[in-house]
Amino acid sequence: MLPCNYACNTADHATTRRAFLGAGLGATAALGADGFANPVHAAELKKAQKRVLVIFLEGGVSQLETWDPKPNTDTGGPFKSIATSVPGTRVCELLPLAAKQMHRIALVRSLNSQTDDHGVGHNVMLTGRKMEPGIVYPHLGAVAARLLNSNANALPGHIRIVPKGGSGFNGADATFLGPKFASVGLGDGKPPADLFRPANLTPTEDEQRDAFRKRLDERFAKSRKSAATDAYTESFTQAERVVKQAEVFDISKEPEKVADKYGRHDFGRHMLLARRLLEAGVTYVKVSHSNYDTHHENFDFHIEQLAEFDKPFSALLDDLADRGMLDSTLVVVMSEMGRTPKINDRYGRDHWGRAWSVALAGAGIKGGAVVGKTNATGTAVTGREVWTGHLFHTYLQAVGLDSTKNFYPNERPVPIADPKTAAISEVLA
């Protein structure tokens, strides 16, 4: 048998609140707020509110049909490349609108994410680490919500918009950062039902009963007060603030013309909702676009999918720029992996993590930059290979965070980003 199979896949091994209580610290090791022994410097948090939007092309988008075309080669497929707003940089012809935005976009064409698996790829792209035994790292959204969320924001800091399914709180993606930073999932963009005041309860009645509750709680707290009772009463204040902003989830409040710009389809609506949420102060929004897992008919599927992607993506960059938000909003287009340069016998491309591309724009990003290279047929990285950890550092530094610091769950240092990697300075403004 193996000496150790490391089946302990809870975070206990290194990082739960309680894990190293044995360090002679006693049962009530002093922790800062949220378990941070060394809270990130307050000044850093006071910076202008920064936000992150991740557009996740689910299933594994082809780098060859997007950011790293190889026309007229064995692997290039039928599409041409086109010029962009950045002289010398060409992208696939399936992205005509994004091409005009290229001066705002930086490309990383040399990502080796070291996995060809959907689940693992999703995880490594969002945590910036290889999956390790004994610890589960928080997702980028939870990290951003934890480090960027200002207290002025009542709305959840971490929202995922997924194509379909139910809506709910408490995604399992915050791990040791705690449930406060776990994602709220919006299936088809719909918010969880309990977020809205029931029809038979008027705002006045709601206020009256809450005022009565508050009076009770204040009296109770005079002689019976604990961190737990405080947390409970405070949670009603937060809920109230969120409920008051429930309209931000309703894209019917947007003018028709704007909705048209984003496109009258699910992904268009979801991108418009993302913009509304970011504008309302949500720190991190992830929008998924499904599905790029094109083992068959890769080219037909990419024509369809990318047409659906290109328009709202371009509209959103314009919209953010027009509203003065692009400088403070990092936009990342990623996927769980790329697709094989080799075209299979079903005109498909298969899973591929060895040499593919990610696009970045907005906050802290040097528009027009292109980093890294693949060879002529796209089968290998030939210059400036980067890993998911490099990207993770880059995302955080782009929004003004020091990604080389640690989290301190239960006083144990856990690096925010993989210390074996560093930010890709060439794409940072």
Partner 1 sequence: MPEFSRSLAAVALLALAGPARPADPLHARIDKHIAAGYGANAKQVAPRSGDDEFLRRAYLDLIGTTPTVAELNEFLADSAKDKRAKLVDKLLASPGHARRMAWHFDVMLMERGADAKVPRAAWEAYLLAAFTENKPYDVLVRELLSADGADPKTRPAAKFFLDRNLEPHAVTKDIGRIFLGRNMQCAQCHDHPTIDDYKQADYYGIQAFLNRSFLFPNANAPAAVIAEKAEGDVSFMSVFDKNKKLNSTAPRMPGGKPVEEPKAEKGKEYKVAPAKDVKPVPTHSRRERLAGAVTSTENKAFARNIVNRMWAMMMGRGIVHPVDLDHGNNPPSHPELLNELAAEFVAHKYDLRWLVREIALSDSYQRSSESRPGLDDPSADRYLVAIMKPLTAEQFAYAAMQATGHTDAERAALGAKGTEQQLDALLAPRMGPFRGMLGRGVDPTADAFTATLDQTLFVKYGSAVRTLLTPRAGNLTDRLNKITNPDAVADELFAAVLSRRPTADERKDVADALKTTTDRGKTINELVWALVASAEFRFNH
Instruction: State the CB neighbour count (10 A cutoff) for residue 344.
Output: 12
Q: How far is the CB of 409 from partner 1 (least distance, A)?
A: 12
The residue within the footprint of partner 1, chosen from 114, 233, 375, 404 (CB under 8 A), is: 233
Q: Looking at 47-55, 215-223, 248-256, 303-311, which segment touches partner 1 (CB under 8 A)? A: 215-223
Q: Looking at 82-90, 210-218, 344-352, 387-395, which segment touches partner 1 (CB under 8 A)? A: 210-218
Q: Yes or no: say if 125 and 153 are a contact pair by the CB < 8 Å rule.
A: no
CA angle at 21 for the pair 16 and 27, rounded to the nearest 5°: 115
Give how many residues touch partner 1 by CB under 8 A. Answer: 68
Please, which residue, 197 or 295, has the CB nearer to partner 1?
197
Give dist(CA 76, CA 387) in Å, integer. Answer: 24
Please, which residue, 121 or 171, has the CB nearer to partner 1?
171
Site track for partner 1 across 272-311, x = CB under 8 A: ----------------------------------------
Q: Is 413 in the site for partner 1 (CB under 8 A)?
A: no
Give dist(CA 151, CA 283) in Å, integer. Answer: 11
Q: How far is the CB of 250 from partner 1 (least distance, A)?
A: 17
* Footprint of partner 1 on 15-74 (CB under 8 A): 16-24, 26-27
Give dist(CA 74, CA 411) in Å, integer. Answer: 54
Closest CA to 283 of 184, 176, 136: 184
Q: Looking at 69-77, 209-217, 278-286, 377-385, which segment touches partner 1 (CB under 8 A)? A: 209-217
Please, which residue, 194 or 297, has the CB nearer to partner 1?
194
SS3 111: strand
CB burial of 150-169 (b: ≥16 within 10 Å; e: otherwise) equals eeebbbbbbbbbbbeeebee
Q: Looking at 84-92, 108-116, 214-222, 365-373, which segment touches partner 1 (CB under 8 A)? A: 214-222
Please, which residue, 175 or 397, has the CB nearer to partner 1?
175
SS3 229: helix
Q: Is 350 in the site for partner 1 (CB under 8 A)?
A: no
Q: How far is the CB of 40 from partner 1 (least distance, A)?
A: 20
Q: Looking at 235-243, 335-343, 388-396, 399-407, which segment touches partner 1 (CB under 8 A)? A: 235-243
CB burial of 205-215 (b: ≥16 within 10 Å; e: otherwise) equals eeeeeeeeeee
Q: Yes or no: say if 374 and 120 are a contact pair by the CB < 8 Å rule.
A: no
Give dist(CA 248, CA 252) in Å, integer. Answer: 10
The residue within the footprint of partner 1, chosen from 38, 47, 80, 221 (CB under 8 A), is: 221
The residue within the footprint of partner 1, chosen from 45, 120, 131, 195 (CB under 8 A), is: 195
Site track for partner 1 across 240-269, x = CB under 8 A: --xx--------------------------
* Footprint of partner 1 on 93-152 (CB under 8 A): 134
Q: Yes or no: say if 80 and 71 are a contact pair by the CB < 8 Å rule.
A: yes
Q: Looking at 196-204, 264-272, 287-295, 382-390, which segment touches partner 1 (CB under 8 A)? A: 196-204
Q: Is 87 in the site for partner 1 (CB under 8 A)?
A: no
Q: Token pair for residue 214?
A: 């508050």
Site track for partner 1 across 160-189, x = CB under 8 A: --------xxx-x-----xxx-x-x-----
Q: How far is the CB of 200 from partner 1 (least distance, A)?
A: 9
Closest CA to 249 of 215, 218, 275: 275
Q: Token pair for residue 229?
A: 């009772």
β-pair partners for 53:
285, 331
β-pair partners for 107:
359, 370
Give dist(CA 421, CA 129) in Å, integer. Answer: 10
DSSP letter string over 67-99?
TS--TTSTTS-SPPEEE-SSTT-EEETT-HHHH
The residue within the footprint of partner 1, chosen from 78, 166, 234, 425 (CB under 8 A), is: 234
Q: Token pair for residue 280?
A: 């309302």
Q: Looking at 99-107, 158-166, 220-228, 265-273, which segment touches partner 1 (CB under 8 A)? A: 220-228
Please, which residue, 183 or 314, has the CB nearer to partner 1?
183
Q: Yes or no: say if 112 and 386 are a contact pair by the CB < 8 Å rule.
A: yes
Please, how many CA atoms are within 13 Å of residue 20, restricted to the half-sphere of its CB? 13
- DSSP 8-class letter at 198: -
Residues that bind partner 1 (CB under 8 A): 1, 3-8, 10, 12-13, 16-24, 26-27, 134, 156, 168-170, 172, 178-180, 182, 184, 192, 194-198, 201, 205, 208-210, 212-213, 215-217, 219-221, 223-229, 231-236, 238-239, 242-243
